[in-house]
Amino acid sequence: MSQSLQQITLTRPDDWHLHLRDGAAMAAVAPYSARQFHRAIIMPNLRPPVTTTAQALAYRRRILDALPADSNFQPLMTLYLTDNTTAEEVRRARDSGHVHAVKLYPAGATTNSDAGVTDPGKVDDTLAAMAEIGLPLLVHGEMTRDDIDVFDREKAFIDHQLAPLTERHPDLRVVFEHITTRDAVEFVHDSGPNVAATLTPQHLLFNRNAMLVGGMHPHFYCLPVLKRESHRQALIAAATSGNPKFFLGTDSAPHAKDAKESACGCAGIFSAHAAIELYATAFEQAGALNRLEGFASHFGADFYGLPRNKEQVTLVRQDWQVPDTLPFADTRGEAPLVPFLAGEALHWKLQP
């Protein structure tokens, strides 16, 4: 990476955790990711969820069809793990060449997770097959029991579910997705080289005050929820450490404006419009712009056993304002989307 005060050039980044949705919603948001990233790991929490290889391949085809004609963006597909996912299905997924991971949502943890795993112990045979064929498990790391405080759910997941799981399957490759706490940083740090983590722009840039001080700010609400400042500092330290276990995954998750600004608002922050600019902002604040390229463009590919990208992108120091809304549509029809940091000024801009 070459660096000067005014511009940064780096290998084209990849997004190792992305929600593209489907249909008109997908058509509205996919170009933002394709403009920035060469590849993205596509989350399978559609309704109904993507539980089979056949569904993943059909979804991949719909994504490719929704992209601009000149795009060479590569969607890397995932399967949604349920209590009933078989070892045979994950082998079929691996053999397809297009499924790169399997996602574990604890049942009820987040948007469209009702079909998720009720107890990781129930899927041990499937996890053993994944370890054998080298297919990574991606985990939404929150324990969903009613009596567990929402701010403690990541720690409870580590203690009661993830640590035992990695002990039962020491060779399984695991990505602890969108980590939000010092506890998760320490767990990943202390685990073997087969355990890694993704970090979102919102968890690097903000603590829970952004969501709760001066009113309720639904566009800062996602799951796992933003945590206190000491946790944010641990995440920043991990992201900028140069440790290849920590890499970029936006968790960009669009919901229509009225679904967010509601008495029961949806969890999810849409960041794909400015993802790499948001990460550059966080790394610059930490005085670590020289560590951005490894985090954004190298470590994820290395973990997934894929080649690093050949192309480069350039960010220039330029003030610009995030739009108040972007055109969007969900299953109900057209509805605007509020992008992350709507109306705010950003100081880095990706060159077209």
Name the active-site residue from 14, 15, 183, 251. 251
Residue 171 CB neighbours (<10 A): 12
Write the burial class of residue 83 (CB in 10 Å: 0-12 exposed, 13-18 middle, 19+ buried). Answer: middle
Among 104, 137, 185, 223, binds ligand NCD (CB under 6 A): 223
* C-beta of residue 217 within 8 angstroms of C-beta of residue 211: yes
| 292 lies in the site for ligand NCD, by CB under 6 A | no
Nearer Cβ to ligand NCD (89/251): 251
Nearer Cβ to ligand NCD (251/330): 251
Q: Which residues contact 175 (CB under 8 A, 6 or more apart)?
A: 16, 101, 136, 137, 138, 139, 195, 196, 197, 198, 249, 303
Interface residues for ligand NCD in 101-120 (CB under 6 A)?
110-111
Interface residues for ligand NCD in 17-46 (CB under 6 A)?
19, 45
- Least separation in angstroms between residue 268's CB and ligand NCD is 3
Nearer Cβ to Zn ion (251/293): 251
Q: Which residue has 């790394």 as its token pair?
A: 283
70 is known as an active-site residue:
no
Residues 85-104 vs ligand NCD: string with x where CB under 6 A? --------------------
| 3 state SS of 143 | coil
d(Cα 336, Cα 319) in Å, to the nearest integer? Answer: 24
Q: Which residue has 């511009």 as its token pair?
A: 7
| 251 lies in the site for Zn ion, by CB under 5 A | yes
- Least separation in angstroms between residue 177's CB and Zn ion is 6
Helix (H) or strand (E) holding 25: helix 23-36
Residues serving a catalytic function are: 251
- Interacting residues with ligand NCD (CB under 6 A): 19, 45, 110-111, 140, 222-223, 251, 253, 267-268
